[in-house]
Structure 1
Amino acid sequence: MRKAIFTLLSLFLTAILIVTLLVKTAPLPNKVLNGFDRTILPTNFLTPLGNMPADSIQLVSGATPTQLFFTTTDPTIILCTDYHLQHPRRIKLHLSQGLIDSLQTYFYTTIDSPFVHIFGYNMPAIVTLHLSGSHTQVFRFPPGGFSKAYAIAPDRFILRKLDRIIADQQFLKVNTTTNEITVEKNLSILHQDGGMSTDGSLVYDTASKKLIYTYFYINQFFSFDTSLHKLHAGHTIDTSSHFRFQLSDAAASGEHVFTSQGPDQIVNNTSFVYNGKLFVHSLLKGDHEADGKFGNNTAIDKYDINTSQYLGSFYLPVSPDKVRRIHIFNHSMVIECRDYIYSYTIDTRDSVLN
């Protein structure tokens, strides 16, 4: 018995030593040259408004000219503040217990006042109601969860949803009034891995009615219209042009469970759009960027949506490893981090944003 325990302990310690050695000797992406440089633009357009602890906040959900809305970990509670992140108040959504149980923690909420849209990842369904608490509409999908969703109108949505037959995710357009679902044609790269390797951020430019999808793991993005037709394709300035994601042998396709053999390097984090420009939070350091400047600030790269041309970069004064999402609402920028929410007034005439 002692020998068996000793053998198991030895194997456990050996495994730890091997993993530690691999981590120590692996080429870290920002400790080597990444093959590109940034053109840094001056950041003079931000004026701090306020901040508050993230606590139970799940994400920034929407805004009016005077208020910001935040999803909490409770699907029935919306937090509302002003742009200084002061005077918080709670809004109670009236949902049935059955819906609450179905949503659990796998949901996110967007608010385009007065409409509230709760996206149930795994139900899979979209729940729509008014902030005032009027009738709740539930639109249910065929089996297969979804990972991205955007409301382009109160009853129309763009989703990136798992199709179990092809074992990958595709973009859909949904009309919840007519019950019509339109599936993309040749818009997505398909790897039959549940959409993990091609994961990314989806944003919607309300001015041009264009959606832009930026990949997390490679230096590519593309735009498409609300009819799911591809418009433009572009590259971020880094050189990460190949997918390195591999599906684990343990991912039995018959069970619809997908896992990776190991973590891949995220090169593009969140993104946002403003005034016909795409802004991407890059996690890779340019070859001649100062370590301290890049490590202590969030690097944002700017691209023209119509031409995909790189237009320069700037820093936001927040730690890059904590940033989750960035939004621009009504002449304000809201930066959502893991520990705090930050709000800034922006000078929309500044050339950095235009």
Structure 2
Amino acid sequence: MEPTPLPKKIALEIICLLYIILFVYAAVSKLLDFENFQVQLGQSPLLSAFAGWIAFIIPISELIIAALLVFPRYRLLAMYMAFSLMIMFTAYIIIILNFSPFVPCSCGGILEKLGWKEHLIFNVAFCLLGIAALLMLRRPETHKARTFVRRAVSNFGIASSVIISSVLVTVLFLVSEHRMTEDNPFIRRFHGYAVKTAQTQLPNNNYYFAGQSGGSIYLANSKAPLYITEIDTSLQQRIRHKIALPDYDLPFTNVRVQVAPPYFYLYDGTVPVFFKGHISNWKALTVTAPTPYFSQSVVMDSANVAFRSENEKTEFILGNFSLIGANVPEFKEGLLTRQVDGFFDCDGQLHWDSETKRLLYLYSYRNQYLVMDEALSLINLGNTIDTTSKARIKVAYLEDQKKYKMSAPPYTVNKSSTFSNGLLYVRSGVIGRFEDKVMWDQASIVDIYDTRSQRYRTSIYIYDAGKLKMTHMTAYGRHLYVLLGYHLHRYTLSKI
């Protein structure tokens, strides 16, 4: 039985009023907290690449539609627009729940009060109300043939709105994912999580990570280089070891220790001597193999070491040498690429990943890293998520000292890093698009990359300990261990 005109009119007014309230509330909520809304859109797997302009379009569209719904003359057009927008929102949630690699946080307004599935039900209910309103808005027709045509046109219009809106959201999803992976719009995603699950305090802030294995983390101290602190992975128990060094009066300036059980290694690149010992007694023995001068080194296994040194042009160069026999150290020309001076612009961090048997060199002032095998043959080049492809540094040549020097503070892109199981963890020095500036005062951002696929995966926050920011980190299993001054924190990571 056809509803009487009055009940139909009342029902239509109620539906229009509900849409007006919904859209005005949602739009005002977004505009009042616009920066947060834009940040949340930037974390969306569907809309990341378009967050800048979509953040403006959505609330403006909602307000325009709400205004048009007020006037009966424009109500049919406005209801089609409102219905199409609700279909887009619904398609967005369906893709998020079923096809997205991760489920982001909410995007303001009512959505913050509901879960994704609850909001899907909410949206579907409003879509059904929209269909009812569009059917009510059909002009009555006494002629049966015309009535059939009007209904067909109306049904076609509703079906077209559903299809076009759904296809549009799907296309946005595909294009956005392509731009995020190929065009690098420098938008971070925080769909992984890092939860602080343990912490302890150290006597001072001079510690650095020397290695990890067998359920233990080894810490060395730059001010007391012969003392090693072994801490269990739960950060509950610690043992202090002292390295027994042969009685050599050597001009050490920067002693470093690396622990790779069952051995440990002690060296100072300014002195051409390398020491090796067993952690069962912590007695260091001199390696008789020829040792080069170097500024960084990593022990790849019990017999081979990779290092960074300088060539005759005072440019950084990578190389390797053996701890066994009398092999001459081998230098690898052409791995590090000069942009400014070949020294400061090529500064970076050298890592060895014992799980994948890969070397990695991460530049400090540009968005690039090199992955190499044990022989220092280049496997691939990767990029960090920021867009600084050329080192932004100023270098001056001091004629009296015959050397280059930084003439201005450098623009540091990658502050610190660690490399484990094919994953590169980078503490970034550059804020990305749509990121909350307040968070940069409260935490450090660590970007995570899969070096095998050369893809950026996710980012995590490492919160400051008071006013102390993280300085060193190491990954071990599903945990990231972080030094913040005299604090040692353990973060448990989600599966990457």
What TM-score, normalized by structure 1, do the two folds share?
0.78
Provide the secondary structure at the position in 2 that maps to 1:284.
coil
The one-character-per-residue Cα deviations of 1:86-133 (angstroms, maximum 9, x if unpaired) are 44332111113425x4224x1211101221111202113322122214
Inter-CA distance 251–137: structure 2 relative to 1 (3 Å threshold): farther
How far apart are the structure 2 equivalents of 1:301 and 1:178? 40
Q: Work out whether residues 166 and 192 of structure 1, in 8 Å CA contact, stay in contact via their aligned partners in 2.
A: no
List alignment gaps of at least 5 residues for structure 1.
1-32
List alignment gaps of at least 5 residues for structure 2.
1-51, 53-183
Inter-CA distance 47–133: structure 2 relative to 1 (3 Å threshold): closer
Matches within 5 A, 1:203-352: 203-250=351-398, 254=402, 257-318=403-464, 322-344=469-491, 346=492, 350-351=494-495
Partner of 1:66: 215
How far apart are the structure 1 equivalents of 2:324 and 2:384? 38
Provide the secondary structure at the position in 1 that maps to 2:270.
coil
Percent identity (aligned): 20
* Larger CA deviation: 330-339 vs 223-232: 330-339
Partner of 1:130: 278
Partner of residue 78 from structure 1, selected from 196, 203, 228: 228
Q: Work out whether residues 200 and 216 of structure 1, in 8 Å CA contact, stay in contact via their aligned partners in 2.
A: yes
Amino acid at match of 1:183: F
Partner of 1:172: 319
How far apart are the structure 2 equivalents of 1:63 and 1:275? 13
Partner of residue 90 from structure 1, selected from 240, 253, 267: 240
Q: Work out whether residues 302 and 311 of structure 1, in 8 Å CA contact, stay in contact via their aligned partners in 2.
A: yes
Q: How many residues align?
A: 309
Q: Work out whether residues 247 and 261 of structure 1, in 8 Å CA contact, stay in contact via their aligned partners in 2.
A: yes
Say yes or no: does 1:188 pair with 2:336. yes
How far apart are the structure 1 equivalents of 2:263 and 2:404? 34
- Which of the two has higher C-alpha Rg? 2
Provide the secondary structure at the position in 2 that maps to 1:295.
helix
How far apart are the structure 2 equivalents of 1:194 and 1:42? 36
Inter-CA distance 63–307: structure 2 relative to 1 (3 Å threshold): closer
How far apart are the structure 1 equivalents of 2:196 and 2:261? 26
Q: Work out whether residues 482 and 488 of structure 2, in 8 Å CA contact, stay in contact via their aligned partners in 1.
A: yes
- Supply the RMSD in Å over aligned alpha carbons: 2.7
Amino acid at match of 2:317: Q
Which structure has the higher relative contact order (CA within 8 Å, separation 6+)? Answer: 1
Say yes or no: does 1:199 pair with 2:350. no
Higher helix share: 2
Higher strand share: 1
Q: Work out whether residues 277 and 304 of structure 1, in 8 Å CA contact, stay in contact via their aligned partners in 2.
A: yes
Amino acid at match of 1:59: Y
Q: Work out whether residues 322 and 339 of structure 1, in 8 Å CA contact, stay in contact via their aligned partners in 2.
A: no
The one-character-per-residue Cα deviations of 1:3-48 (angstroms, maximum 9, x if unpaired) are xxxxxxxxxxxxxxxxxxxxxxxxxxxxxx99732122141x5342
What TM-score, normalized by structure 2, do the two folds share?
0.57
